[in-house]
Amino acid sequence: MSTVASKLMTAEEFYDWANDPDNRDKYCELERGEIVEMTRPGILHGFVCANVVVILSAYCRQRKKGYVCSNDTGVIVERDPDTVRGPDVLLLEDVSSVEAMDRKWGKNPPVLAVEVLSPTDTFAKINRRVQEQLRFGTPLVWVLDPDASNVTVYRPGQPYYVVERNDELTGNDVLPDFRCNVAEFFTMPGQ
């Protein structure tokens, strides 16, 4: 018995598929040309993501440079076959106006990609996502762990390191003058 290989989907075809009314409620990414269904994150995950967005948006506004995207914004991290990932938060500096932004998937590497761990994440899955971002040209990747209240920092060609809850996270040379206490990502307002 022979099997018939299905045609791999391109990023452009995936965009059309994902925005078809029949598929809008599905939570998916494109991995090497194949649609992969994802689980919906919970409240804690969304809370941490929102804190990251607030902190990074304030940084961009203060610098008057860059912008932040959230809500798993699609970015094409590989071609032939195509992979479209949706990091939890992105900081980009590729355009200086809303009019110049991509209307579909992003094609340029972000300055920073942030992943917030979910209960269903495995080390292999997160490592694959981090490595895809680094190969794509993203110079800085943070992985936030809500249970441990820490941030693991990844840079191309350098060993990763962990910044603990009560320590200061910096943007190194990628995000000049960025500083915040890691606890700010995991703390309620006013605490």
3-state secondary structure the chain: CCCCCCCCCCHHHHHHHHCCCCCCCCCEEEECCEEEECCCCCHHHHHHHHHHHHHHHHHHHHHCCCEEEECCCCEEEECCCCEEECCCEEEECCCCCHHHCCCCCECCCCCEEEEECCCCCCHHHHHHHHHHHHHHCCCCEEEEECCCCEEEEECCCCCCEEECCCCEEEECCCEEEEEEEHHHHHCCCCC
- The pTM of the full predicted model, rounded to 2 decimals, is 0.92
Other beta carbons within 10 Å of 73: 18
| pLDDT tens over the chain, length 191 residues | 444 447 899 999 999 999 999 998 888 999 999 999 988 889 999 999 999 999 999 999 999 999 999 988 999 999 999 999 999 999 999 888 899 988 999 999 999 999 999 988 888 999 999 999 999 999 999 999 999 999 999 999 999 999 999 999 999 999 999 999 999 999 998 77
From the options 3.40.50.150, 3.40.640.10, 3.30.950.10, 3.90.1570.10, give the CATH code of 39-186.
Answer: 3.90.1570.10
Annotated domain spans of the chain: 39-186
d(CA 67, CA 31): 26
pLDDT score for 119: 85
pLDDT score for 72: 80
